[in-house]
């Protein structure tokens, strides 16, 4: 079984994914971290030095590589479902879970780590929430294809992963 966590930046994919994998005895794969290690570059540097198109190619390749692993929880970058046929493939080879939250909530969570998000780092603080909400709206058609949608707004990663476990036990 493969579980793919999808959703916008700040929705808790990595923290929830780690907890979920530990509880299920699955391995945990973080696509961004995988790319950083493979390229020996932080994502922000990769965007600067090679551009977004190269990052999206590497992201696509990393997602395809997960299909040769079993029993894993995969945390994907916020844009992953939108590029190539990533969403369709993840749907086919795994169970996709959308951690959903609105921009204002995500923006406040990202306050201290904006510098590491190249798509957000250069925005003025007054532009941030609108930019994020527009991008969430543009991506919604992809996110909403997920098998399971979870409202992530008020839930800590601990509660979110419990909710996913409960859903899996009844599915
Ligand atoms: C991106 C999200 C980031 C990272 C890159 C692009 C996006 O991952 O992949 O900065 O397009 O939303 P997180 O969602 O883990 O922050």
Measure 1 CA to ligand 1 centroid, in angstroms: 24
Domain boundaries, the chain: 2-159
66: nearest Cα among 21, 23, 100? 21
88: nearest Cα among 129, 133, 147? 147
Residue 25: left (phi > 0), alpha (psi -120 to 50), or beta?
A: left
Query: Tens of pLDDT along 32-57?
Result: 999 999 999 999 999 999 999 999 99
Query: Tens of pLDDT along 7-17?
Result: 999 999 999 99
% of the chain surpassing 70 pLDDT: 100
Sheet (strand 148-151) strand order: 27-30, 72-75, 2-6, 95-100, 148-151
Going by CA atoms, what residue is nearest to atom 8 of ligand 1? Answer: 77
Answer CATH for 2-159 from 3.40.50.720, 3.40.50.300, 2.120.10.30, 3.40.190.10: 3.40.50.300
Residues with C-beta less than 6 Å from any ligand 1 atom = 9, 13, 32, 43, 77-79, 117-119
pTM for the model stands at 0.97
117: nearest Cα among 128, 102, 101? 128
- Position 171 scores a pLDDT of 77
Query: Tens of pLDDT along 110-166?
Result: 999 999 999 999 999 999 999 999 999 999 999 999 999 999 887 888 899 999 999
Which backbone phi and psi does 154 adopt, to 5 degrees? -95, 5
């Amino acid at each position: 079984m493969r579980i793919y966590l999808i959703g916008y930046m700040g929705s808790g994919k990595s923290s929830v994914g780690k907890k979920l994998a530990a509880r299920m005895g699955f391995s945990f794969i973080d696509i961004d971290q995988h790319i950083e290690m493979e390229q020996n570059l932080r994502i922000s540097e990769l965007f600067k030095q090679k551009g977004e198109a190269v990052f999206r190619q590497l992201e696509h390749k990393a997602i395809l590589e997960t299909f040769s692993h079993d029993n894993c929880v995969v945390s994907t970058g916020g844009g992953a479902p939108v590029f190539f046929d990533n969403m369709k493939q993840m749907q086919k080879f795994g169970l996709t879970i959308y951690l959903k939250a609105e921009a204002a909530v995500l923006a406040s969570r990202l306050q201290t780590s904006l510098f590491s998000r190249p798509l957000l780092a250069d925005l003025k603080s007054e532009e941030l929430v609108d930019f994020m909400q527009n991008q969430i709206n543009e991506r919604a058609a992809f996110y909403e294809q997920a098998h399971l949608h979870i409202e992530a707004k008020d839930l800590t990663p601990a509660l979110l992963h419990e909710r996913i476990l409960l859903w899996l036990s009844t599915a």
